[in-house]
Amino acid sequence: MIIGHGVDIVDIASFAAQLAAPGSRFGDVFTARERAESVRRANPDASFAARWAAKEAAVKAWCQACAPAAPPLAPDQLDWSHLGVITDRWGRPQLSITGDLAAALNSLTDRWGPVRWHLSLSHDGPLALASVVMSADTPPGFRVDNT
């Protein structure tokens, strides 16, 4: 069952400029693995932008899944490096969730059961886009109430 969906779009050149700026808030948002994977790509700027879009989309999906209640960890409390966008050996994107974010997500498994994340990343021309779907096998009687 889909319990949340988020989409985000990023201007690649603008994001690359922000990432390169001294003292940028984006300096610590990527894990070492994300950095290593991105710099090996033909277009590292597009890779970083798509990963940032995926992080934003994942948070949107998570916040939507928590509705109408507030998420146990507010987006402004996130350590973005605890939400990694990595690839498997076939290049398929997946989330790596650690730290406080993993603890907050695990606190909700009684409500949802085990959670799965489905990611799609793309970039074309000046834009990078990510779509993230959060799904779970929910317990009997579970009802999503988004009112």
8 is in an annotated binding site: yes
User: How far, in Å, CA of 37 to CA of 100, rounded?
Assistant: 24
Which residue range(s) make up the domain with 85? 2-136
pLDDT in tens, 25-46: 888 999 999 999 999 999 999 9
Choose between 78 and 75: higher pLDDT.
Answer: 78
Q: How many domains does the chain have?
A: 1
The answer to the question of residue 99 being in a domain is yes
Which CATH number does the domain housing residue 63 bear?
3.90.470.20
Sort 32 into a burial class: Cβ within 10 Å, 0-12 / 13-18 / 19+: exposed
- Asked if pLDDT for residue 75 goes beyond 90, the answer is no
Q: Within 10 A of 85 (CB to CB), how many other CB atoms are there? A: 29
- Asked if pLDDT for residue 147 goes beyond 60, the answer is no
The rounded percent of the chain whose pLDDT value lies above 70 is 93
The answer to the question of residue 141 being in a domain is no
Q: Within 10 A of 88 (CB to CB), how many other CB atoms are there? A: 8
The answer to the question of residue 144 being in a domain is no
The answer to the question of residue 147 being in a domain is no
37 is in an annotated binding site: no
